[in-house]
Amino acid sequence: MPAKHRVHGETARPGYIATESGVELFYRDWRPEGAPGNGGTIVFVPSYSLPGDMWAYQMLPLVRQGFRCIAYDRRGHGRSSDPGGGYDYDTLADDLAAVIDALDLSRVTLVGYSMGGAEAVRYLTRHGSARVARLALIASTLPMLMKTPDNPDGIDCACVDAFRQDLASDYPRWLADNARPFAGPGASQAMIDWIREMALRTSHHALFACNETVSRGDFRNELRDIDVPTLIVQGDRDVSNPLELTSQRTARLIPNARLVVYEGAPHGIFLSDAARLTADIAAFASA
C-alpha cells in the first residue's frame, strides 16, 4: 500500500516547503515568461552531494521551450535544513512528496539523477503515480550497487570503505582528484570548480548518511512495480555507476522502459552532454 500523503506546505519564507517534521526544503520553480508552462511540468531530483542548482543547464533551456521546471535541495544539501537525520530512502521519498503535494503538481515528468533516481523510484512505489506521468532515470544508482552473494558483480565493500575514509579525512582532496573524471575532458575548469564548491557546502553528516543509504539500496524487486513510461540515460564511461551494473539491468526490470546510452560520456552527463540530455528530456516530457 502506498504511504499516506503527509500534511505539508509552503512556509512563511518564500522559496521553502516544510515537511510534516518541520524540515524546510529550498526549491526553485521556474516558469515560462507570460505563459502557464504548456510544455508540462518537470521535477528534478538532484545527485548525492549536490543541490538542485546542478540542473541549471537543463532547466533554463527547458523553461524557454515552455516547460515549468522545479528543482529542490535534498535535506542536508544546499539551502535546505540540516536536520541530522532522515536520510533513508523512505524519508527522502516523503520529502519529494512534500514538494509535489505542496505545489499541487500533476502529470509530472520526474527526473532523478544518480541517487536521486532511487529516490524517485521509492516515491512512486511508496506514494503511487497519481501525480506522475513519466519517469527519467539519469546515470542512476539502480538497481543495486554493492557486491553481495546474490549480486556478485557489484562494487566491493572495500571500495566503499576507501571512499568513506577519504570522506572522513580529506573530502576536499577527494573532490579535487575525482572532479575531472566525473565531468569529462570537455568541461571547463570553471565548471568543475562550480560543482566542487556546491559539493563542499553539503552537510558532512548528510554525505555519510546518504552514502550508507546508497550502499544498502536494493531495488531489484521494486523496479518491477513502476507503472509509468521510463527513460533511462547513461554514459558508457561512467566509472561511478558502471553501465552494465546499473542502467542495463534497470532497463530489463522496469516495464515500458527505454535505455539510451551516450557513447564516451562520464557519470556527470548533465555537464558533459548538457544539450543532448536536455533535448532527450524535452522529447520524453512532450510524448
- What pLDDT score does 53 carry? 98
Neighbouring C-beta atoms of residue 252, cutoff 10 Å = 11
Q: Is 267 among the residues known to form the active site?
A: yes
For 77-100, what is the mean pLDDT? 97
Q: Is the pLDDT of residue 51 over 70?
A: yes
Q: Is the pLDDT of residue 167 over 80?
A: yes
pLDDT tier for residue 11 given thresholds of 50, 70 and 90: low
- What pLDDT score does 13 carry? 82
- Among candidate residues 101, 238, 273, 280, the one labeled active-site is 238
- Among candidate residues 8, 77, 127, 267, the one labeled active-site is 267
pLDDT digits (tens, 9 = 90+) for 67-77: 999 999 999 99
Tell me the pLDDT of the chain averaged across its residues: 93
* Contacts for 152 with CB less than 8 Å, ≥ 6 apart: none
pLDDT tier for residue 191 given thresholds of 50, 70 and 90: very high
Q: What is the CATH number of domain 9-145+219-286?
A: 3.40.50.1820
- What pLDDT score does 4 carry? 37
Q: Is 203 among the residues known to form the active site?
A: no
- What pLDDT score does 79 carry? 97
pLDDT digits (tens, 9 = 90+) for 222-276: 999 999 999 999 999 999 999 999 999 999 999 999 999 999 999 999 999 999 9
pLDDT tier for residue 5 given thresholds of 50, 70 and 90: very low
pTM: 0.94
Q: Is the pLDDT of residue 6 over 50?
A: no
Q: Is 204 among the residues known to form the active site?
A: no
245: which 3 cell numbers?
551494473
- What pLDDT score does 37 carry? 56
For 18-37, what is the mean pLDDT? 87
**C-alpha to C-alpha distance for 141 and 242, rounded to whole angstroms:** 9
* Contacts for 283 with CB less than 8 Å, ≥ 6 apart: none
- Among candidate residues 81, 114, 215, 247, the one labeled active-site is 114
**C-alpha to C-alpha distance for 258 and 273, rounded to whole angstroms:** 19
pLDDT tier for residue 143 given thresholds of 50, 70 and 90: very high
Q: Is the pLDDT of residue 2 over 90?
A: no
